[in-house]
Structure 1
């Protein structure tokens, strides 16, 4: 398995619009082979921002790479960089190979 995360620093005055942008969009991930799950995460508040993250789980690193080269990826990111900036800087990407997965 592979986990792909993007972390975002969002100023307090942009939190509502940032969340709406994520929660009101079409989720195309469900149509991509190798996709396992997605979580949109709200993290701790700091003095001048709150941390948010997108978290996707994939069957493999190759499945994640295929997503990044897919029509669904292009459609999902077509509006990126357009409109008012809602974050303090670009997202920070982190990718992880899963070494152990414990479930119920």
Structure 2
């Protein structure tokens, strides 16, 4: 079965547009990697001064995901992660929260 890697981001309400633009304008290298299946950025509920976003990446296996985390493509894509262009302030409150899941059942 496959593996799903998710990162949850608490994004400052006033910097949501900038956060989304960073993701929309990024140069993704995921398709270059063995085992990559799909990527989604999810917009969630509003909290106390933030909105929750989550990246959702489907891999063929945990091993394929782990290979991504040690790849040159990973280092390149995370070199300026979350930085605000104008002031240097990050749209993200704190650090992203990683969650990894092994798929045990899938219906489509």
Give the structure 1 partner of residue 69 of structure 2. 68
Give the structure 2 partner of residue 97 of structure 1. 102
Unpaired segments of 5 or more residues in structure 2?
A: none
Q: Please state how far the C-alpha of 1:81 moved relative to its aligned partner.
A: 6.1
Q: Please state how far the C-alpha of 1:45 moved relative to its aligned partner.
A: 1.5
**TM-score, structure 1 as length reference:** 0.93
Give the structure 2 partner of residue 59 of structure 1. 60
**TM-score, structure 2 as length reference:** 0.90
Q: Equivalent residue of 1:9, what SS?
A: strand
Partners of 1:9 and 1:24 in 2: CA distance: 20
Task: Verify: 1:33 aligned to 2:38, yes or no.
Answer: no
Aligned length: 103
Residues 23 and 81 of structure 1, relative CA distance in 2, 3 Å threshold: closer
